[in-house]
Amino acid sequence: MLDAESITQSFREFLGGVQTGLPVAVGYVPIAIAFGTVATKVHLSTLEAVLMSALVFAGASQFMAAGMMLTGAGGLQIVIATLFINLRHLVMSMAVHHTVRKANRTWRALLSFGITDETFALLTLQGPRTQAHHTHLFAIGLTGIAYTGWVVGTAIGRLGAQIIPPSVSASMTVGLYAMFIGLLMPHVQRSVRVALIAVVSMALNTVLITVMSMGWAIVISTILGASFGLLLGESTS
């Protein structure tokens, strides 16, 4: 049975994750609002749009799926396309599982669902000492607040679709890229290794996207970029 000290420590770990993930949640809200307005165009009800965000929780895939719906694509085509674009989450899940390896399988499965590009960056682009203090409760707090921001933003966007100008909702999607760059840059400035991995991955993706689909390009460039980082080792600073 847990004593008061253990409960307090667990709450602190969870709250620490919430505080760390709060900027991501705030950044997700305008992008989710944009998705909510797009969902209106493909005739998704408020419940359907919110459920999509709640069950999928992948911005790029949701926008792509909505776009395919507009073109009249079938359900199987949408599932296959979103599967390809989300394959990178397998690689990210393995990396995050390593940082919380003391957690049981149930917690790891729950964390895998909450991993996005931004939460992955916050959980893994840290020094060894910082990562050593990441517990599953910290990770749950971080991913949980980000998830909440995305789902709530979707509901706001869908409910307010009639009063949000199209130009405003379209501009909100730019925030996703700006937020990820903002998360990456401090680590690039501190580590030559991270900077090299980022540059190599971007270059690979730029080349690959000319000869294959965006989903495969992202998957392959992610794998090759991570492999390049392993070859560099931890000595590059």
Which residue did the predictor score with more confidence, 108 or 27?
27
Residue 157: Cβ within 10 Å count: 28
Question: Which pTM does this prediction carry?
Answer: 0.71
43-47, 101-105, 119-123, 199-203: the lowest-pLDDT one: 101-105
Q: Is the Cα torsion angle 170, 39, 23, 225 positive or negative in sign?
A: negative
Mean pLDDT of the chain: 79
| pLDDT confidence of residue 199 | 87
55 DSSP assignment: H
- Residues 6+ away with beta carbon under 8 Å from 198: 184, 188, 225
| Cα separation, 123 vs 233, whole angstroms | 19
